[in-house]
Amino acid sequence: MDAVANNEVVSLSSLSKGEHATVLSVIEDGQSLGDEQASTIARRLLELGFVPGAELEVVARMWPGDDPVAVRVGGSMFALRRREAQAIRVRRGAAAAPTTDAGAR
């Protein structure tokens, strides 16, 4: 049952502090982002590194209301509004462990 939960597809806004996930997509629905300019926010999220396959970690959630949420993606950290985080679809699960070349010479 735990393995199923780790592969669950959810919005980034539903993750808790400390959770890791993989980006699947950014919803380009201007209405859900409050972006009447044809999804400029979704495009900006992609430019910032929220691209399919990117690994991320929720670093902090602010109180009250969990808005904004601090997210580490790649080597950068961003604070996203809840509405922006809701537009990012992720696959919940642990980040891959870093590999070392200790045996290779």
* Domain coverage including residue 30: 23-92
Please tell me the pTM assigned to this model: 0.76
Which pLDDT score, from 0 to 100, does residue 94 have? 60
- Give how many domains the chain has, as a whole number: 1
Please indicate, yes or no, if residue 44 is contained in any of the structural domains: yes
Please indicate, yes or no, if residue 62 is contained in any of the structural domains: yes
Please indicate, yes or no, if residue 68 is contained in any of the structural domains: yes
Which pLDDT score, from 0 to 100, does residue 4 have? 44
Please state the φ and ψ torsions of residue 16, each to the nearest 5 degrees. Answer: -95, 165
Q: What is the mean pLDDT of each run of 10 residues along the chain (105 residues)?
A: 65 93 85 58 89 95 83 93 91 62 47
Please indicate, yes or no, if residue 99 is contained in any of the structural domains: no
CATH number for the domain spanning 86: value is 2.30.30.90
